[in-house]
Amino acid sequence: MTDMTEENAHYDASDIQVLEGLEAVRKRPGMYIGTTDVKGLHHLVWEIVDNAIDEALAGYCKNIEVVINKDNSITVKDDGRGIPVEIHPKTKISTVETVYTVLHAGGKFGGGGYKVSGGLHGVGASVVNALSKWLEVRVYKDSKINYIRFENGGHTVEPLSVIGDCEPNRTGTVVSFKPDADIFDTDIYDFETLKTRIRELAFLNQGLSLTIRDDRNDEDTTGETFLYEGGIREYVKYINQGKTPIHENIIYFDGEEDSVMFEVAMQYNTGYNDNIYSFVNNINTHDGGTHEDGVKRALTRVINSYARKNGMLKEKDDSLTGDDVKEGLTMIISCKHPNPQFEGQTKGRLGNSEVRKLADDVFSSGFERFLMENPDEARVIINKAMLACRARNAAKKAREITRKSDLATTNFFGKLADCKSKDPSVSEIFIVEGDSAGGSAKLGRDSMTQAILPLRGKILNVEKARLDRALGNEEIRTIITAFGTGIGEEFDLSKLRYDKIIIMTDADVDGAHIRVLLLTLFYRFFKPIVQAGHVYAAQPPLFRISHGKTRKYVLTEPEKDAYLNNLPENVRSRAEIVRMKGLGEMDADELNDTTMDIEKRVLKKITVDDCVAADAIFEKLMGDEVGPRREFIEVNAGYAQNIDV
């Protein structure tokens, strides 16, 4: 294979260009995959899986398998047609080699109608190759096994060749790769992360079988397979597990126009929150867009028109709003589009205007008919929206009272020790568990930029309460007033008075509980604050190590051991280690030194990266079922700092 045939001569010429392209990826990986942290590491898998899904969407692939191998390399196997192995007329190298070495080649060489490219993923398989220690591809077709291998960022070390025969009817592609440890902060894959997304992909691609297997420990050999004949209907059912639906059947409509496919599934539950998730080409559009707008608009219109026609809403009554008809609604919206336009800063919003009409048409004609044919279900759904409407009006009144009284009451200012600065970009607020820790925090703070809000009572569990009841809770009212943003319909992120909202609780069960209550409150009523990255958890130290005049605080057990191991033996034997019990135990200086001082502290940013996963955790912790909550708190009590939602 090393002789200089004409073909190879040409290959060598273009090889230089190709490697320059891949080298650019290695120089600035962030440009292509966002980050080189654990998220970027997992992104590589989705890049390869997306290609197999495209083959499935084109109608040629039924099974996809993802394996984490012993060495943390990944194998993705599909039973599609197999990537073409012929020489590509443009690049003069085989198509499979082109796909893995030429930037952005994937889309151009694909045979399917729906490329996932253009969104968050879709940078191309060559990017994975560029960021891998090695990558190999096996293509099964025409009774042959074709093999090619790359090393050290996409250098072809074994050119494409037939390495054996396979069963005559077998077709498909098997890709294995090992991420380059020099590029990523970590090279260890997380099974749960991969499994959650694999399950989601199975929900979104009805009838496609997806398997995930972890071969790092020998125990699990068969893996877990996700296959949903009901598609997004089963996704709604899954999200509503542990909630109480108010009607039995999951409502589902779909339609297609000009190669754009649209589908929606929904069911109402007795809760007060909505769980509406929309996707375009399997990518979560977390900021919605035209597909979501179309459905929401149609939902409000159809419900109002049915309620008026049937006398549930009288002439004098105000119409139900979008918020009213969303209460307790679980809904999945999925659109497959050959040419999606993603908008917004994080490209999380679908922009194609024709989709608004398609979504509206499909949903409104289907839902009108559903309400007509199912009067009992129509009644419970509309009653629920009317109750939400009443609660909304009650909340409005409660809010007006809050607004008038709060800033004037000494109670509020007695609690909050505000910072002197009125510049939100430098201001931060610590929400502190308990009065004694609150006292130390007030003494230890930098009063120019740091505000302290001690929480006395338990804050209300808002998972189980509507806004009007939440506003009845004094601790919650105080938080709202301090933030300055307002709440509900009048929420305004630009009025936030602090750049950082820092939850400071003890590393014990009570602390974990309070932290979760606060996260639930933020997630439900202040989601944009979380999304904009303003919420943090303080990390008070778990151990203090004293020797001589030195005092060292550490966050974790392994850190403590590492520190002690590095001390000379005579110092180590005399070092004192007293486990820190709680914030209240630290004096002002200590608290400042370990947890509050901008130079020394460690904060953990709270994100709502995956709303579906976050909701599942909140449901578990805060929902109606007591068992899972107790279990979670028991398991996590010792690792309270790991609650990262």
Residues annotated as catalytic are: 433, 506, 508, 510
Q: How far is the CB of 449 from ligand 0RA (least distance, A)?
A: 52
The closest of 482, 582, 604 to 538, measured between CA atoms, is 604
Left if phi > 0, otherwise alpha if psi is -120 to 50, otherwise beta: which for 153?
left
Q: How far is the CB of 171 from ligand 0RA (least distance, A)?
A: 8
The amino acid present at 22, given as its one-letter code, is L
Cβ closest to ligand 0RA, residue 86 vs residue 576: 86
Q: How far is the CB of 21 from ligand 0RA (least distance, A)?
A: 19
Residue from 43, 81, 515, 560 that binds ligand 0RA (CB under 6 A)? 81
Cβ closest to ligand 0RA, residue 136 vs residue 234: 136
Residue from 30, 34, 59, 111 that binds ligand 0RA (CB under 6 A)? 111
Q: How far is the CB of 263 from ligand 0RA (least distance, A)?
A: 24
Q: How far is the CB of 84 from ligand 0RA (least distance, A)?
A: 4
Q: Which stretch binds ligand 0RA (CB under 6 A): 79-87, 273-281, 350-358, 628-636?
A: 79-87
Q: Which stretch binds ligand 0RA (CB under 6 A): 109-117, 362-370, 505-513, 586-594?
A: 109-117
Within 10 angstroms of residue 486's Cβ, the number of other Cβ atoms is 16
Residue from 29, 40, 80, 153 that binds ligand 0RA (CB under 6 A)? 80
The whole-angstrom separation of Cα 2 and Cα 5 is 9
- Residue 142 neighbours by CB under 8 Å, 6+ apart: none
Residue from 36, 51, 364, 595 that binds ligand 0RA (CB under 6 A)? 51
Output the DSSP codes for 273-328. S-EEEEEETTEE-TT-BHHHHHHHHHHHHHHHHHHHHTTSS-TTSPPPPHHHHHTT
- Lookup: tokens for 497: 């008075």
By CB under 6 A, is residue 55 in contact with ligand 0RA? yes
Cβ closest to ligand 0RA, residue 110 vs residue 328: 110
By CB under 6 A, is residue 83 in contact with ligand 0RA? yes
Cβ closest to ligand 0RA, residue 83 vs residue 455: 83
Q: Give CA separation, 327 vs 265, 269, 330, 380, 616, in Å.
A: 16, 9, 9, 13, 18
Residue from 24, 26, 72, 84 that binds ligand 0RA (CB under 6 A)? 84
Q: How far is the CB of 641 from ligand 0RA (least distance, A)?
A: 41
Q: How far is the CB of 52 from ligand 0RA (least distance, A)?
A: 5
By CB under 6 A, is residue 266 in contact with ligand 0RA? no
Residue keyed to tokens 């219109």: 301
By CB under 6 A, is residue 173 in contact with ligand 0RA? yes
Cβ closest to ligand 0RA, residue 198 vs residue 507: 198
By CB under 6 A, is residue 282 in contact with ligand 0RA? no
Q: Which stretch binds ligand 0RA (CB under 6 A): 77-85, 349-357, 390-398, 492-500?
A: 77-85
By CB under 6 A, is residue 148 in contact with ligand 0RA? no
Give the three-state DSSP class for 344: coil
The whole-angstrom separation of Cα 424 and Cα 449 is 9
Specify the length of the chain in residues: 645
The amino acid present at 3, given as its one-letter code, is D
By CB under 6 A, is residue 136 in contact with ligand 0RA? no
Q: Let me know if 138 is exposed, middle or buried by CB neighbors in 10 A (0-12, 13-18, 19+).
A: buried
CB 228 within 8 Å of CB 200 = no
- Lookup: tokens for 379: 């009644």
Which residue in the shown chain puts its C-beta closest to ligand 0RA? 111
Please tell me the count of residues contacting ligand 0RA according to CB under 6 A.
13
Q: Give CA separation, 404 vs 411, 424, 497, in Å.
A: 14, 23, 19
Cβ closest to ligand 0RA, residue 107 vs residue 528: 107
Q: How far is the CB of 14 from ligand 0RA (least distance, A)?
A: 21
> Sheet harboring 543-547: ordered strands across?
550-554, 543-547, 576-579
Cβ closest to ligand 0RA, residue 115 vs residue 347: 115
By CB under 6 A, is residue 110 in contact with ligand 0RA? yes
Q: In 63-99, which positions are buried (b, 16+ CB within 10 angstroms) versus exposed (e)?
A: bbbbbbbeeebbbbbbbbbbbbbebbeebbbbbbbbb
Cβ closest to ligand 0RA, residue 55 vs residue 506: 55
Q: How far is the CB of 67 from ligand 0RA (least distance, A)?
A: 15
Cβ closest to ligand 0RA, residue 122 vs residue 348: 122
Half-sphere exposure in the Cβ direction for 583 (13 Å, CA): 30
Strands 342-343 and 349-350: antiparallel
Kindly list the residues in this chain that would bind ligand 0RA in the complex (CB under 6 A).
Answer: 51-52, 55, 78, 80-84, 109-111, 173
